[in-house]
Structure 1
Amino acid sequence: MSAAYGMAGVLLVVVATVLIGVLGVRISRTTSDFYVASRTVTPLRNASAIGGEYLSAASFLGIAGLILAYGADMLWLPVGWTGGYLVLLVLVSAPLRRSGAYTLPDFAEARLESMAVRRVASVLVVLISWLYLLPQFQSAGLVLRTVTGAPVWTGGVLVAVVVAVNVWVGGMRSVTLVQAFQYWMKLTALSVPLIFLLLAWRYDGAPGLTTETPPRFDDRTTVAVGTAVTVDVAAPVQVVVDGRLDGRAYEDVPLTLNPGRHHLDQDASVTFPAGAAVPHVTGEPVTTDREWALPLHGREHSLYATYSLILATFLGTMGLPHVLVRFYTNPDGRAARRTTVMVLSLLGAFYLFPALYGVLGRLYTPELLMTGRADAVVLTLPGRLIGGVGGDLLGALVTGGAVAAFLSTSSGITVSVAGVLAQDILRGGVRSFRAATLLALAVPLGLAIAARSLAVADVVGLAFAVAASTFCPLLVLGVWWRRLTVPGALAGLVTGGLLAGTAVIVTIAAGPPDGFVGAMLAEPAAWTVPIAFAVMIAVSWCTPGRVPRGVARMMVRLHTPESLDVDRGTWRPKRV
């Protein structure tokens, strides 16, 4: 895809986002408009907005990239991300709406009558949200670099600036309009090119994944490496190298790559002959087509990793701050439930497509397995299969959809973080919300520029694990168990946060070690979630005298339909 077409796709989405955001400015006047759109969002619009913010870079790019690299095991990601809304629907969506709170820390304080619990919840909201924003900015850099050759940091800066403008001027009402548009933009950007890709695949003879060997280059292929990467070579191969390889500089020099590990610096390129095996990034599995298509073959300790991933995605959804805040924008609990049902339909429709991109990528873009950026498969396929002006136009559409994914998810997360920072640090108000917006974006943008590049869906999976290990126990027990105490909630939040947070820090900073310990750190939910629940329950049993005095009234409020007109005034935190 030419840079001109790519930039056109990016600019069109950015301009549309800003213009729709300006529409929200004209109707955003009050604090309630900025935080929860005055609780007047209809179920369909809210469901579209939830789909817009929930379908992040991990959904648009990451799933296809992980399926390309790991195969059938990664199909659990879209299943879990969709199924998580079913758990949310059954357990907490309507009670959360009835709580009358603006943010998740508001709910924590209202339920437990404790500023200490509120402060811990506020810290966790900010940390989880920043962890979720990190891959959005990194992926934006990947997209702009892929389509224009721009430095990696420019994509993150572009997304941060556009999000800051929309959130700063219009708050939740602007963000809702933008995200509803961006859901349908993303659905179109994936589905329309896929129709042409499948037609091209059919015209090519509909090749299947039937070989008993790992991926090979069908033709003489030059692979450009955008970021420094270490690859494993299985057999000697004659190549032409341009750039730095294993610490030495080459300029179109023929040489033999011997079996073993080789390090390619940024912007190096290697030309492989037809029939050569595709080197894989160190740590990624080398599988035959048959192994790739079967579950539990993609990763070490894949059985544990799969079940831990399922647990994180199913339970982590309800603990994501930018998801929960959406249920405060519905007019009542019935609308919140209807919204959740619609979200399940919208997500199910969207998630049909990334898996097909991953399969086509295995057939036509296997070289991405050695670049360390399998996430780029969605962007690469239109130019590879179709080419010409048609390929450029479809590539521009996909690029626009990817930018919409970064913008919509980043907007929702920014609103959540800004709401918490404004209320708990800057003492509320529209002016505080706007100042908090800049802080909410600056920290993860700096981390994205400084941190090592990671697979986007892997980082988002870690955010889900932290959310499942902290807010999931608090919400489930807070909504359904009247004996939850302040010490129990604090102990569970701190324990789950520390355990899952440690796993995240190790994985991001240095990568998990080998063996089962490494698998436990890369997918921590299977052990951190049960421990967090157990600690929260055990400490509550041991401190029965610390049950909040107003628990009976709060439980009635959470579980009584709005039609009975129980005291539904918007809850306000007590400042002590």
Structure 2
Amino acid sequence: MNEAYAVCAVAGVVLATVLIGGFGLRISRTTSDFYVASRTVGASLNAAAISGEYLSAASFLGVAGLLLVQGPEMLWYPVGYTAGYLVLLIFVAAPLRRSGAYTLPDFAEGRLESARVRRVVSVLVVGAGWLYLVPQLQGAGLTLGTLTGAPRWLGAVLVACVVVVAVAAGGMRSITFVQAFQYWLKLTALLVPAVFLLLAWRHDGSTPPAFPTDPDVMSGAPGPDQPLSDTRADHPLYATYGLIVATFLGTMGLPHVVVRFYTSPNGRAARRTTVVVLALVGLFYLLPPVYGWLGRLYAPELTGSGEADTAVLLLPGRAVGGVGGDLLGALVAGGAFAAFLSTASGLTMAVSGVLSQDVLPARGPRHFRLATVLAMGVPLGGALLMEGIPVADAVGMAFAVSASSFCPLLVLGIWWRRLTPPGAMAGLLLGGGSALVAVTLTAAGAGVASTRWLHTLLAWPAVWSVPVGFLAMVLVSLATPGSIPPHTSATMTRLHLPESLSVRQTAAAAGGARAHARPERPAPEASG
């Protein structure tokens, strides 16, 4: 690929991100603007923004790379990523918006009236967010290095700097416009080259590419540096179930996804937003399989090189060639950088919100900006120090942690009035904590490779950690009935009744206990 084209494309995306973020700065003036865009984001704009931040490096590069190496079994990734929004639509979207929260810790404290539960949720949100941020930064380094030959640390540092500027400038109001723009850019960056790739394949008259059917061809014995997806050869059915459970249930608790539903005007708008997201995400996921399939024909050497994630970047130049291939490659490069920037922006926004409310000594836009630097600084250090693993695998780890901790908390907190603070604590620590430990050990390759079952259990923990989280919450809650929060009835009324009715019903049921049901807090006016 012509390096000049690629550099121009990446520079264009970075410039557009900064300019749109600057526009958000002009209209962000209050604390509510920074955290939840004053809860005024319409369904179409919010859906595009959610899709923009959700379709990360794993979606843009990783899914095609896994399909290239592993074959059609990896289609569970896009299926799970999409179907997770259906679960979110049915169980969580509208009640979560009605909670009046700014962050997941806000919801936890409002529902359970416990500062201890809030602190545990805060730790898990930050941990999951950082776990998700590392592969975004590593993917940026991989992309820039592949396209220009630059050192891989440069791409990670570039994305980190741009994200900090965009998020700190205007908070949620700013990145809403940035992420909506980046969704359409990513869709275009995959769709247009895919059309030309298919036309080139038909013109060549080549034999349709085929995937290997022999598991021994696709992987060997797992080792400390082996991609997580390669452990499927040992226990493929278990690994598939682990992937399905993590992606189906993990979406609802991803901190950067959940925080966007707080920006909807009401619960009905949150539901409409989720329906539109399903359509937008489903449309996007029709494209990565095309790249994985054609990669078998035009880049077969990538299957055993450990560089399968670069297939999307290399295919336009190999299949089309010439100036046309360079231009299409530059478009893909721009889309890839948009994927890193949009997801990293959402994650940084979510982690910054928690840090500024629960860690730093004061709140407001100034402290939010300080939290933004901290939220990005830690994962940047991790991305520079750790060896990269396939981005889809790395993102799958964050899904497993989310499914094991936030999914039980949200589902039981919204739909089961007998949930108690001790029960929630037990589920978060046993479910989410065990999943976090498992994926951390796997990422570090901590001496478990010699035992294949142990390696597989740690690499795909959702099969056992999600039931552990649910069971711990239910059993401990049943054992501590005296700990049910005193204003649970008022809180549940608020979560499940339309906004126009909930205030009157809550007042009738609780006689003025609405303050304990976590009503929407008036946002203090603060200069941006």
On whether the aligned pair clears a TM of 0.5, the verdict is: yes
Decide whether aligned partners of structure 1 residues 18 and 213 sit closer, same or farther in structure 2, where only a CA change above 3 A counts: same
Partner Cα separation in structure 1 for residue 228 and residue 342 of structure 2: 30
Compute the displacement of 1:521 (Å): 1.1
> Which stretches in structure 2 are left out of the alignment for 5+ residues?
504-513, 524-528
> Which residue of the partner structure matches residue 475 of structure 2?
538
Partner Cα separation in structure 2 for residue 136 and residue 124 of structure 1: 19
Matching of residue 190 in structure 1 with residue 127 in structure 2: no
> Which residue of the partner structure matches residue 493 of structure 2?
556
Partner Cα separation in structure 2 for residue 479 and residue 115 of structure 1: 18
Decide whether aligned partners of structure 1 residues 211 and 32 sit closer, same or farther in structure 2, where only a CA change above 3 A counts: closer
> Which residue of the partner structure matches residue 510 of structure 2?
none
Decide whether aligned partners of structure 1 residues 23 and 148 sit closer, same or farther in structure 2, where only a CA change above 3 A counts: same
> Which residue of the partner structure matches residue 373 of structure 2?
438
Partner Cα separation in structure 2 for residue 385 and residue 479 of structure 1: 51
**Would the aligned equivalents of 2:232 and 2:239 in 1 still touch at CA under 8 Å?**
no
Compute the displacement of 1:571 (Å): 3.8
Q: Which of 313, 318, 323 does residue 389 from structure 1 map onto? A: 323
Decide whether aligned partners of structure 1 residues 107 and 298 sit closer, same or farther in structure 2, where only a CA change above 3 A counts: closer
Q: Which of 449, 464, 469 does residue 384 from structure 2 map onto? A: 449
Partner Cα separation in structure 1 for residue 194 and residue 233 of structure 2: 28
> Which residue of the partner structure matches residue 411 of structure 2?
476
> Which residue of the partner structure matches residue 516 of structure 1?
453
> Which residue of the partner structure matches residue 402 of structure 2?
467
Partner Cα separation in structure 1 for residue 207 and residue 86 of structure 2: 37
Partner Cα separation in structure 2 for residue 205 and residue 214 of structure 1: 27
What SS does structure 2 have at the residue aligned with 1:483? coil
Q: What are the residue-to-residue correspondences of 1:123-162 with 2, within 5 Å?
A: 123-162=123-162
> Which residue of the partner structure matches residue 208 of structure 1?
208
**Would the aligned equivalents of 1:85 and 1:344 in 2 still touch at CA under 8 Å?**
yes
Partner Cα separation in structure 1 for residue 332 and residue 8 of structure 2: 11
What SS does structure 1 have at the residue aligned with 2:265? coil
> Which residue of the partner structure matches residue 368 of structure 1?
302
Matching of residue 403 in structure 1 with residue 337 in structure 2: yes
Amino acid at match of 1:538: L
> Which residue of the partner structure matches residue 435 of structure 2?
500
> Which residue of the partner structure matches residue 280 of structure 2?
346
Q: What are the residue-to-residue correspondences of 1:230-269 with 2, within 5 Å?
A: none
Amino acid at match of 2:455: G
- Deviations 1:245-272 (CA, angstroms, capped at 9, x unpaired): xxxxxxxxxxxxxxx99xxxxxxxxxxx
Matching of residue 25 in structure 1 with residue 25 in structure 2: yes
> Which residue of the partner structure matches residue 12 of structure 1?
12
What SS does structure 1 have at the residue aligned with 2:185? helix
What SS does structure 2 have at the residue aligned with 1:452? coil
Matching of residue 487 in structure 1 with residue 437 in structure 2: no
What SS does structure 2 have at the residue aligned with 1:26? helix
What SS does structure 1 have at the residue aligned with 2:233? coil
> Which residue of the partner structure matches residue 271 of structure 2?
337
How many residues matched? Answer: 504
**Would the aligned equivalents of 1:73 and 1:298 in 2 still touch at CA under 8 Å?**
no
Amino acid at match of 1:570: E
**Would the aligned equivalents of 2:137 and 2:383 in 1 still touch at CA under 8 Å?**
yes
Compute the displacement of 1:214 (Å): 8.1
> Which residue of the partner structure matches residue 271 of structure 1?
none
What SS does structure 1 have at the residue aligned with 2:205? coil
**Would the aligned equivalents of 1:71 and 1:298 in 2 still touch at CA under 8 Å?**
no
Compute the displacement of 1:209 (Å): 3.4
Identity, % of aligned pairs? 63
What SS does structure 1 have at the residue aligned with 2:18? helix
Decide whether aligned partners of structure 1 residues 569 and 502 sit closer, same or farther in structure 2, where only a CA change above 3 A counts: closer
Larger helix fraction of residues: 2
Partner Cα separation in structure 2 for residue 37 and residue 397 of structure 1: 31
> Which residue of the partner structure matches residue 570 of structure 1?
520
- Deviations 1:169-198 (CA, angstroms, capped at 9, x unpaired): 110011000000000000000000000000
**Would the aligned equivalents of 1:70 and 1:299 in 2 still touch at CA under 8 Å?**
no
Amino acid at match of 2:192: V
Compute the displacement of 1:499 (Å): 1.1
Decide whether aligned partners of structure 1 residues 12 and 539 sit closer, same or farther in structure 2, where only a CA change above 3 A counts: same
Partner Cα separation in structure 2 for residue 457 and residue 96 of structure 1: 28
Decide whether aligned partners of structure 1 residues 123 and 382 sit closer, same or farther in structure 2, where only a CA change above 3 A counts: same
Compute the displacement of 1:74 (Å): 0.7
Larger strand fraction of residues: 1
**Would the aligned equivalents of 2:494 and 2:502 in 1 still touch at CA under 8 Å?**
no
Partner Cα separation in structure 2 for residue 496 and residue 298 of structure 1: 23
Compute the displacement of 1:537 (Å): 0.5
Compute the displacement of 1:498 (Å): 2.2
Partner Cα separation in structure 1 for residue 472 and residue 214 of structure 2: 46
Compute the displacement of 1:371 (Å): 2.3
